[in-house]
Amino acid sequence: MDIQSIKNRFGIIGNSPALNYALQVAAQVANTDLTVLINGESGVGKEAFSIIIHSLSNRKHNPFIAVNCGAIPEGTIDSELFGHEKGSFTGAVDSRKGYFETVNGGTIFLDEIGEMPLGTQARLLRVLEAGEYIRVGSSKVQKTDVRVIAATNKDLLQLVQQGKFREDLYYRLSTVPIRVPALHDRKEDIHLLFRKFAADFADKYKTGSVQLDEEAKNMLINYPWPGNVRELKNIAEQISVLAQDKHITARELSKYLQPYSSNRLPAVAVNANGSGPEFSNEREILYKLFFDMKKDVTELKRMFLEVLQNPGSAIQNPAFINELKDLKLHDNLPVLVQPAGLPVPGNPQPVLLHNDDIHDHEEVEESLNIMDKEKELIIKALKKHKGKRKDAALDLGISERTLYRKLKEYDIEE
């Protein structure tokens, strides 16, 4: 089957060389039983490639199942994939078949394979090498004939170096690697996809199809699309439903595109009433807090260094006092370093330190890495609440689910 026929059959939109090459590899490998590893950012459509491979294979009339390894708790993933015997663990009231048993003869798609626990990785390796598995709580070896297609948005080799992914499993899975290009790497397809989605939603919601002017089209193409095709589809749906005028200008389009920066600095939005900034998530609040604190500390250090280097001129300089007032620290300073006998404006009875009382000082540069600061706060909160996630999350001002995700992201051991 040629590439265009595959696109027509499976609704693939786009003509970029990288996309065409990925489809060509998928078509060539479909009729084999080789294991395939699909790489690509979140939202690029990796599952669609797994469906294409299965549908063009000799197993197309047999079962196909997609399993998100990151969505299954670590304690139950072995049971989900390989089944369990009655009484093998608390709650196992009956024996249960796993996916490798129920999909025998078909294809299993393991999405987010990088999230799979190491113990489960060892079991999967045995399936790939010998076609064998053992149910949880059993000693009986069972056979299975299942083709495995895996997908990840992570660098598995980097996980291998970190000891989080088995090297032997990596090379077993990547017999045939397929790289699905990110949307920002196929700019020529962005407007085509938008038009397709807009037409589909116009038909679904019985509205007119939206049209972009030239400036809006350029804005759409040059947007970085961190959420890839999934994000583009969501934007097309929002515009189709919410836009009063179906002729979209760049100004109108900008209302639907999220602020995004490649350096991941916080994007501050203004409230609808213009009263002040609002933040889309708790990380941005932390970013803002850290930046404000760093700015104030740096300013304080600069002013006091000026006092140490040139006490007389600094204290008599009204700008210095004004800066202290701006930082709201002037009225709260119990001791101000100055030469003996020199009065401080606004403080008739200062506590004096002579120049010869000032010891050599060393300026220590603190870490400016925001992620390090966030990790440090999380560790402190867990220690404060003796490892209780719920209390730590409440203290941090984030959800328990978010805290769990950050523990995994920063590899924090409780």
Q: How many CB atoms lie within 10 A of CB 334?
A: 6
CATH topology of domain 3-181: Rossmann fold (3.40.50)
Query: What is the band of 144 on the pLDDT scale with cuts at 50, 70, 90?
Result: very high
Q: Regarding beta strands 36-39 and 176-179, do their DSSP bridges make them parallel or antiparallel, or are they unpaired?
A: parallel
- The amino acid that residue 210 corresponds to is V
Q: What is the pLDDT of residues 3-31, one digit of tens each?
A: 999 999 999 999 999 999 999 999 999 99
- Average predicted confidence (pLDDT) for the chain: 81
- Report the alpha-carbon distance of residue 190 to residue 263 in Å, rounded: 23
CA 207 to chain centre: 34
Which DSSP letter does residue 142 get?
E
| 311, two tokens | 């006490």
**pLDDT for res 358:** 41
Q: Which stretch of 121-125, 222-226, 257-261 has the lowest confidence by average pLDDT? A: 257-261
Furthest C-alpha separation in the chain: 95
Of 18-27, 42-51, 86-95, 310-319, the least confident: 310-319
385 Ramachandran zone, left/alpha/beta (phi>0; psi -120 to 50): alpha
For residue 236, give the nearest of 216, 264, 266 by alpha carbon: 216
Q: Tens digit of pLDDT for each residue in 194-204?
A: 999 999 999 99
Is the pLDDT at 348 greater than 50? The verdict is no
Spell out the residues 6+ positions from residue 391 whose beta carbon is closer than 8 angstroms to its own.
385
CA torsion angle 155 156 161 165 (round to 10): 150
Q: What is the DSSP string of 35-101?
A: -EEEE--TTS-HHHHHHHHHHTSTTTTS-EEEEEGGGS-TTTHHHHHH-B-TTSSTT--S-B--HHH
**Coil, strand or helix: which one is 172?**
helix
Model pLDDT for residues 47-62, shown as the tens digit of each residue: 999 999 999 999 999 9
State residue 312's pLDDT score. Answer: 57
In whole angstroms, give the CA distance from residue 57 to residue 31: 4
Assess contact for 333 and 324: CB atoms under 8 A: yes
Q: Which pLDDT score, from 0 to 100, does residue 82 have?
A: 96
Q: Which residues neighbour 123 within 8 Å (Cβ) at sequence distance 6 or greater?
A: 78, 81, 82, 133, 134
Per-residue pLDDT at 288: 57
Q: What is the CATH number of domain 370-409?
A: 1.10.10
pLDDT band at 286 (very low <50, low <70, confident <90, very high): low
Pairing of strands 277-278, 269-270: antiparallel
Listed residue (346, 353, 274) closest to 307, CA to CA: 353
Question: Which DSSP category does 356 fall into?
Answer: G
Please answer whether residues 14 and 189 qualify as being in contact, where contact means their C-beta atoms are separated by less than 8 angstroms.
Answer: yes
Q: In this predicted structure, what is the pLDDT of residue 381?
A: 85
What does the pLDDT read at residue 368? 57
User: Contact at 8 Å (CB) between 17 and 154?
Assistant: no
Domain 184-258 in CATH 1.10.8.60? The answer is yes
pLDDT of residue 364: 47
* CB distance 400 to 390 below 8 Å: yes
* pLDDT on residue 120: 96
What span, in angstroms and rounded, lies between the C-alpha atoms of 37 and 152?
A: 8
Structural element, H or E, at residue 127: helix 118-130
pLDDT per residue as tens digits for the range 91-105? 888 899 999 999 999
Query: 3-class DSSP state for residue 399?
Result: coil
